[in-house]
Amino acid sequence: MSHEDNLRDLETDIKLDLSERQNYGGYLCLDRLLSAQKPLSHPEHHDEMLFIIQHQTSELWLKLIIHELKAAIDWIQQHRLGKASKILARVKQIQKQLFEQWAVLETLTPSEYVQFRGVFGNASGFQSLQYRQVEFLLGNKNKKMLSVFPEGSVSRRVLQSVLEAPSVYDVFIRYLDEKDYPLDDDLVHRDYTEPHRYNESLMKALLEVYRHPEHHWTVYALCEQLVDVEESFQLWRFRHMKTVERIIGFKTGSGGSSGVGFLKKALELTFFPELLKLRTEL
């Protein structure tokens, strides 16, 4: 068989006019997306491109998680728990992508990192607006985080709105109340700008769900999806901490935090304490 026999002609219906907005590059805005990687090291250090793309890709996945969590909240408010469960199953798969990405960054050695570490100054993942939105949407509210963003800035207004809105757990609790599960009134009508705190009435209601899942199946299924999302988030946090430990050891973080120590403290935070504690009580 000759080399020419291995060449295929283009199918006649393939569109070759690349001037239309509907072509692949145009639809995905690849001209802007692929020109957004701008290393600052001079001469440009080879590994800075990895560092930039790693974090840009993470921000894209975080954008999708925010999109999905807001949809899950809407579905729960409409009493469509099956739809919300489907959304949360997708969130879990997105979280897997974020988790696995750390393996790529871990190919960056300490010797390579220090050669361009100084070029991005005080920039830090601690300043990620989208990460804070995800935490707030899951219920880890913290008013102090608003101060990370300048007064009057768009970023601060966005985070303020998420701070004041109910989290996915809040709307789930409201759903339980509307379905006549016995819950404390101050839990159902709480201040959404504060983090959720363990509540005994919610614990009792969820224990009933888990003791008789066949009678509460849609609620039971949604609970397990929430547990999956929390576990995946904690695994991501742990992998983040271990990656930082591997690359910079116990140095101070770029944004001024204690670095590994700060990330270890975050592992103690929980979104859905009743869903975790009930496993001991069953």
Binding site for substrate, by residue number, is: 51-55, 113, 117
Q: How far apart are CA 61 and CA 267, in angstroms?
A: 21
Annotated binding site: 51-55, 113, 117, 240
b/e burial code for range 129-158 (CB count within 10 A of at least 16 → b): bbbbbbbbbbbbbeeebbebbeeeeebbee
Looking at residue 256, the DSSP 8-state letter turns out to be: S
b/e burial code for range 247-271 (CB count within 10 A of at least 16 → b): bbeeeebbeeeebbebbeeeeebbb
Looking at residue 4, the DSSP 8-state letter turns out to be: G
Which residue carries 């404390």 as its tokens?
Answer: 184
Annotated binding site for heme: 240
Hey, what are 69's tokens? Answer: 């969590």
Query: Radius of gyration of the chain from Cα atoms?
Result: 23
Beta carbons of 252 and 258 less than 8 angstroms apart: yes
Q: How far apart are CA 56 and CA 240, in angstroms?
A: 15
Hey, what are 217's tokens? Answer: 């199946």
